[in-house]
Amino acid sequence: MRTANIVVPNEMTSEGNTSELRDFIALMKPRVMSLVIFTSLVGLMIAPGHIHPVLGFTTILCISLGAGASAIINNWYDRDIDRLMVRTQNRALPAKRVAPQDALAFGVFLAVLSIAILALCVNLLSGLILAVTIGFYVFIYTMWLKRTTPQNIVIGGAAGAFPPMISWAAVTGDITLMPVVLFLIIFLWTPPHFWALALYKCKDYQKAGVPMMPVVKGDLHTKKQMIFYTLLLIPVTLAPYFLSVVGLPYLAIVSYLNLVFLYLGYKVYKDPAQKLAPRMFGFSILYLFAIFLLLMLDHRPI
């Protein structure tokens, strides 16, 4: 009597599939996406007018997918330098857990899908701005600026500043002064935020040949630039009050946050050992989150 062959599921295959899915999700940089999603949501909430909840959800989803697509293509292009840096060498592409062509195809698919859905289902302006955002991050920042100039973060920061402008356009169908202010808050926040990281990860960037500001211009020059951009940022963060979008609670709390952020910048400037740079980097994330949370909680009809 012949015994039937019984196929037992391979646990290693199952784990491999789970790991691959996890790796593809990680390529989208979920932690960065969370800030993009939140700032987009605030833009949607404070924009004048009304948007159907389904279209509002669609807007946030498309912005999230667009941000994820940009991150995937960035990971695909930077896999050669990522394997040289301690901070990034365990990412899915340099660690060869995901094939480069698969990552690129997934990123391009998400980019096209997010732009098409937003333009067709919400409005053309929001889809156009999302397309510009993805194109700017991929072609201008990733493929050009990042490896050629210490101003990479300054100019490239525009890509991360567009999301609340996209969601505003989704509601109103136009761009006015307030979404430009939202853009400028993130745009001016990016240099001191990212340079704080670059200060204590300088050796990584130097090893990979990435011309970050501390590598090219030195720590002291970088710290001066951080304070310069923080000083530019302060009046922009207060602008929503003077545009009558928020009230005194926003003005008071954000003024305090600005003082703390500036004080930390000064302490980093006086610290030759870069021990306080990680603290400023961490606080900068809380700082931006708090500003946009206050905009949402304290906003008035425009």
**Tens-digit pLDDT profile for residues 155-173:** 888 999 999 999 999 999 9
What's the pLDDT at 232?
Answer: 98
Six token digits for residue 74: 């960035």
CA atoms within 13 A on the CB side of 180: 5
| Model confidence pLDDT, tens digit, residues 108-117 | 999 999 999 9
Q: Where are the alpha helices (DSSP H) in the chain?
A: 11-27, 30-46, 53-77, 79-82, 100-121, 124-135, 152-161, 163-172, 177-200, 202-208, 213-217, 219-242, 248-269, 277-298
**Residue 138 predicted with pLDDT over 90:** yes
Cα 32 from Cα 22, distance rounded (Å): 16
Residue corresponding to tokens 């169908």: 173
Six token digits for residue 25: 């999700």
What's the pLDDT at 302?
Answer: 65
Average pLDDT over residues 185-205: 93
What's the pLDDT at 31?
Answer: 87
What's the pLDDT at 67?
Answer: 96
| Model confidence pLDDT, tens digit, residues 88-126 | 999 999 999 999 999 999 999 999 999 999 999 999 999
What's the pLDDT at 21?
Answer: 86
Average pLDDT over residues 64-82: 96
| Whether domain 25-174 has CATH 1.10.357.140 | yes
Residue type, 48: P
Cα 182 from Cα 257, distance rounded (Å): 17
Residue type, 181: V
Name which of 195, 186, 227 is nearest 213 in CA terms: 195
Average confidence score pLDDT of the chain: 91
Assess contact for 62 and 28: CB atoms under 8 A: no
Percent of the chain whose pLDDT exceeds 90? 82
What's the pLDDT at 144?
Answer: 94
Residue 273 neighbours by CB under 8 Å, 6+ apart? none
| Model confidence pLDDT, tens digit, residues 4-60 | 443 333 333 334 445 588 999 999 999 889 999 999 999 999 999 999 999 999 999
For Cα atoms 260, 237, 132, give the angle at the middle one, nearest 5 degrees.
125
What's the pLDDT at 13?
Answer: 38
Domain-wise residue ranges, the chain: 25-174, 176-302
Angle between helices 177-200 and 219-242 (to 10 degrees): 160
Assess contact for 204 and 86: CB atoms under 8 A: yes
Average pLDDT over residues 194-204: 91
Q: Where are the alpha helices (DSSP H) in 124-201?
A: 124-135, 152-161, 163-172, 177-200
Residues 3-7: contacts with CB under 8 Å, at least 24 apart: none
Grouping H, G, I as helix, E, B as strand and the rest as coil, residue 299 is strand
Residues in the chain: 302
